[in-house]
Amino acid sequence: MTPCRIVLMLLAGALFASPALAQQVGTATAVNPLSESTPPGGATAPLAVGARILHKERIHTTTGTAQLAFLDKSTLSIAPNTNIVINDFIYDPNSGKGHMLASLTQGALRFVGGALSHEGEASIMTPAAAVGIRGGTVTIVIDRTGVHVIDQFGIVTIHNAAGTRILNRPGFEVTILSWTTPPGQPERVTLAEIDRLLALLTSKPGQNGGVPGLHTVTIGACGILGTQSHNCPDTPWLPTDTGFNDAGQLITQGTQFGTGTTAPAPPPRYSPGR
């Protein structure tokens, strides 16, 4: 998706917003309190697992987290203290065509692309930049130091009034200070930041994602199921070129499994200093 089209989609969504467009575009698949939603023209109410997500709906988390699954098999994981609006979502399952536009004004989210992302038709608007996502998994964080866009897989186009930056290296991030400041140079994400974001976007101890009894489920012993390991702990990896590449491959496999789509081959290994 071109930068101009991202901005035009946002303007079109604002001009043609109407209650008639409030059709279901997805479902809340995990909710930890307190998370709330505000449908277009409706009152704010607690968000529950299984709730319909509507076109133009606003999702707001305070102490809890939420995960939304959309009709094209994309997902949004939403951190605590986050505000997001589903501005526009059009999807034809027969052709796989359409587009998705969401606005993040506060907090953090992780987007795992589905059919629309693989067509380059998914984008997220932030106060500092429009973020176009092609076939990927992206984490976006807004904090006091700016907007941080982290590429975990795929191609990300970051555009604002001061310029455009293409990010296509898994494990790297771009920071944008404001709408009138050019997107910064890509920098490798630290292991500490990866750990922090994983904790931020994951249910806390004692939480069950809105499914009673989930926290009491007993996981079986580590073993082999068919030809795959089952219920075995992941092998820790270090923040080296090899480690980041291995982590990128794991994210790629998770994206393919979660979206039911075929993703491009993982990127080549990067030599130090590139």
Give residue 222's pLDDT: 45
Please list the alpha-helical segments (H only) found in 155-190. Answer: none
H or E element: which one contains 27? strand 24-31
User: DSSP assignment of 88-135, as one string?
Assistant: EEEEETTTTEEEEEEEEEEEEEEEE--HHHHTT-EEEE-SS-EEEEEE
Strands 228-230 and 223-225, by their bridges, are antiparallel
> Hey, what CATH topology would domain 1-274 get?
Jelly Rolls (2.60.120)
pLDDT tens by residue, 148-174 = 999 988 999 999 999 999 999 999 999
pTM as predicted = 0.69
Instruction: Spell out the domain ranges in the chain.
Output: 1-274
237's tokens: 């990896």
Helix (H, G, I), strand (E, B) or coil at 216: helix
Instruction: Summarize the confidence of residues 123-151 as an average pLDDT.
Output: 93
Q: Which residues make Cβ contacts (< 8 Å) with residue 111, sequence separation at least 6? A: 74, 75, 76, 117, 122, 124, 133, 137, 138, 139, 140
Q: Is the pLDDT of residue 38 over 70?
A: yes
